[in-house]
Chains A and B, each alone.
Chain A
Amino acid sequence: MEPLHIATTRNTPMVVFLPDKATFRLVGNSIPENAGSFYAPVVTWLQQHLSDIPTPCSFVFSLPYFNSSSLKALYSVLVEIKKGIDQGKEFEVNWYVEDEDEFMIEAGETYQELLGMKINLITGDPAP
Chain B
Amino acid sequence: MNMEHLGTNNAQRELEKNLLEYKGQLSSEVRIQLLDLLKCIALLNLGPRSDLKKLIGIALELLDNAQRYNARNDVDFRWHIADGQLVVTITNTASSEDARRLMEAVRAIERMSPEDITEAFKRQLLEEGFSEKGGAGLGMLQIARKVGKNITAEIKSLRPDEYRCTSTVSTTLDQTKNQP
By a beta-carbon cutoff of 8 Å, the part of chain A in contact with chain B is 10-11, 29, 31-37, 64-65, 67-69, 71-73, 75, 98-104, 110, 113-114
Interface 1/0s, chain B 97-136, versus A by CB < 8 A? Answer: 0000000000000000000000000101110011001111
| Interface class of chain B by DSSP | helix
CB-defined contacts of A11 to chain B, threshold 8 Å? 28, 31-32
Task: Please give me the residue from chain A that is nearest to B141 by CB atom.
Answer: A68
Q: Evaluate whether A68 and B139 lie within 8 angstroms (CB atoms) in the complex, with A31-B35, A100-B50 already known.
A: yes
Distance A4 CA – B138 CA, assembled complex (angstroms): 28
Contact of B32 among A31, A37, A71, A73 (CB under 8 A): A31
Which residues of chain B come closer than 8 Å to A101, judged between CB atoms?
A: 50, 52-53
Interchain nearest-CB distance for B68 vs A (Å)? 6
CA distance A33 to B139 in the complex (A): 12
Please, which residues of chain B bring their CB within 8 A of the CB of A67? 60-61, 64, 139
Distance from B151 Cβ to chain A, minimum over Cβ atoms (Å): 14
User: Which chain A positions have C-beta within 8 A of B28?
Assistant: 11, 32-33
Q: Which residues of A contact B135 (CB under 8 A)?
A: 69
Measured between alpha carbons, how far is A74 from B99 in the docked complex, in Å?
A: 28
Minimal Cβ-Cβ distance residue in A for B56: A65
Give CA–CA (A32, B67) in the complex, Å: 11
Which 3 pairs across A and B sit closest by C-beta, in order of nearness? A34-B134, A68-B138, A103-B53
Interface residues, chain B, with chain A CB atoms under 8 Å away: 28-29, 31-32, 35, 48, 50-54, 56-57, 60-61, 64, 67-68, 122, 124-126, 129-130, 133-136, 138-139, 141-142, 177, 179
In the complex formed, the residue of B with least CB distance to A97 is: B53
Q: What is the CA–CA distance of A10 and B27 in the complex, to the nearest angstrom? A: 13
Residue pair B57, A69 in contact (C-beta under 8 Å): no
Q: Contacts A31-B35, A35-B136, A36-B134 given: A104-B53 contact, CB under 8 Å?
A: yes
With contacts A68-B64, A68-B136, A68-B142 known, is A36 near B130, CB below 8 A? yes
Measured between beta carbons, the chain A residues less than 8 angstroms from B133 are 34
Contact partners of A102 in chain B: CB under 8 A: 50-51, 53-54, 177
Partner of B125, one of A29, A104, A114: A114
Give complex CA distance A11, B33 in Å. 10
Q: Are B53 and A72 in contact (CB under 8 A)?
A: no
Apart from A114-B125, A114-B126, what are 15 other A-B pairs with CB-CB below 8 Å? A29-B35, A31-B64, A33-B67, A36-B129, A36-B130, A67-B61, A67-B139, A68-B142, A69-B134, A71-B125, A72-B124, A73-B130, A103-B57, A104-B53, A110-B122
